[in-house]
Chains A and B, each alone.
Chain A
């Protein structure tokens, strides 16, 4: 079981490492642009947010957005491709339990989230003096976020029947939710209606937890920043396993 899990993870890591120009470079370039435009040029006019200068304030959001997008992209593209080129049959004919398959693909997504997140953090360090308020909170927030979005990507890949289907959710759901989850602002500045609405956006809790871990400021309670993604992970993992066990779009 352990060898099978290890095999899937190594295969996933080698896959995204082989195409590093597509997987690692673009987020680094995008991050530099975000920092330059939103932090450097506009940030000076905005001033401070929650008592922190704007350039520093948006850094956790940018890192976490990268983690979200990369964890999701890894599982959705990798699993969809294994279905598309039928190499998923290699796993179906082998005695690998479905939970190991799921864990392997999710671990691949988490690893890509971590690698690209670190590359982006390294890039940011050229623009901003980085400091960490709590490494523990930061690590837990990162882990919960990447696991949750790797699971979501996996479910998307199970249902996807074309390449269009794997780009719809990131473009029309993930990106808006990330932007509206407090990536560039504190929800404290929103009118009460929009602030209440943000409470239904799980990304808001993850963003807030990560920001707390990095800067020591947040808009909600820490337990919510951990509890909401944990509940989402439990739900998504149950759905993904159900889909694998029943063979939806994987077995005829």
Chain B
């Protein structure tokens, strides 16, 4: 599979001596929906900044669609659309002008840009607010405006740095649908997020950065298989007695009808249900107590056990 993005030994040391990236090798295939995860200060935004030309790398190289970033800087920039983490538009400029100007910087004339801006503003539900200024928009609306701006020049790679931070659940889910649709249409998407559920449900491949280094890079399925245990919350029909024991599982009664069970990867959920039935406990409803990716993330970045 052809690569949309690859970095080789990418490093960044800031003037204060802080090493934000340490020889990062990253590979993202064309058409991928790729998650770049890491805790705060792990180096995600620095990596994105270097890829997009906002930050100068100390050493290493970046290739976009096989083109070296340094020697083909303008062609590379045309292929990338960036939705940054921080709001970075003129707060006094009308929303539609922000999009039209961005298209202008990429060589698209105002007439074409206006059509594209209308199409995108409608898709992100901001068409009615087109003549207002970003100052009057909510946080979620501003994020959607930045997403529309990043798509104005029809990039081949869309880089999203915390796209749904501060966005309410409903809007977040509509953004996910929109992003999935864009990916199905062939757009390569690289996503950084603090919502691990978001990464798990949307991304096919993943890399985890910890203190400037890649600690894991694999397919999402492959990574999730490494999860050693999972925790379930079971809503039971019968009232629960205090001491429930199931071999190889950790059980905790949370309230009269709720049981939390942590089971090893070798044990299936049906085994647990069968064992509970033998104890005359009927399970009415099951949900996951904690995101599997979150557990892995915490273990890989040494924040938890």
Q: List A residues at the B interface (Cβ < 8 Å).
A: 1, 3-4, 6-8, 11, 14-15, 18, 81-82, 85-87, 89-97, 247, 251-252
What separation, in Å, do the CA atoms of A86 and B93 have in the docked complex? 14
**Contact (A252, B56) CB under 8 Å given A82-B90, A93-B82:** yes
- Mostly, the B contact residues are loop
Least CB separation from B103: chain A residue: A7
A selection of 5 A-B contacts at a CB cut-off of 8 Å is: A3-B108, A87-B90, A92-B52, A96-B105, A247-B56
Contact of A89 among B54, B56, B78 (CB under 8 A): B54
- CB contacts under 8 Å to A, within B76-101, are 77-78, 80, 82, 84, 86-93, 97, 101
Contacts of A97 in B (CB 8 A): 74
Contact of B88 among A3, A90, A94, A96 (CB under 8 A): A90
Least CB separation from B104: chain A residue: A7
Question: Is A91 touching B88 in the complex (CB atoms < 8 A)?
Answer: no
B14 at the interface (CB under 8 A from A): yes
Contacts of B182 in A (CB 8 A): none
What separation, in Å, do the CA atoms of A93 and B108 have in the docked complex? 15
B49 at the interface (CB under 8 A from A): yes
Contacts of B73 in A (CB 8 A): 95
Contacts of B77 in A (CB 8 A): 93-95
Instruction: Give the contact-size bracket for chain B.
Output: 20 to 34
What separation, in Å, do the CA atoms of A178 and B291 have in the docked complex? 68
B53 at the interface (CB under 8 A from A): yes
B109 at the interface (CB under 8 A from A): yes
Question: Is A89 touching B92 in the complex (CB atoms < 8 A)?
Answer: no
Most interface-central of A15, A94, A96 (chain B CB within 10 A)? A94
Contacts of B153 in A (CB 8 A): 94
Least CB separation from A94: chain B residue: B105
Question: Is B101 touching A93 in the complex (CB atoms < 8 A)?
Answer: no
Contacts of A251 in B (CB 8 A): 54-56
Contacts of B80 in A (CB 8 A): 93
> How distant is A232 from chain B, measured CB to nearest CB, in Å?
29
What separation, in Å, do the CA atoms of A92 and B84 have in the docked complex? 13
> How distant is A45 from chain B, measured CB to nearest CB, in Å?
47
Least CB separation from A87: chain B residue: B90
What separation, in Å, do the CA atoms of A159 and B84 have in the docked complex? 24
Contacts of A14 in B (CB 8 A): 97
Contacts of A93 in B (CB 8 A): 52-54, 77, 80, 82
Question: Is A3 touching B107 in the complex (CB atoms < 8 A)?
Answer: yes
What separation, in Å, do the CA atoms of A169 and B227 have in the docked complex? 61
Least CB separation from B77: chain A residue: A95
Least CB separation from B100: chain A residue: A7
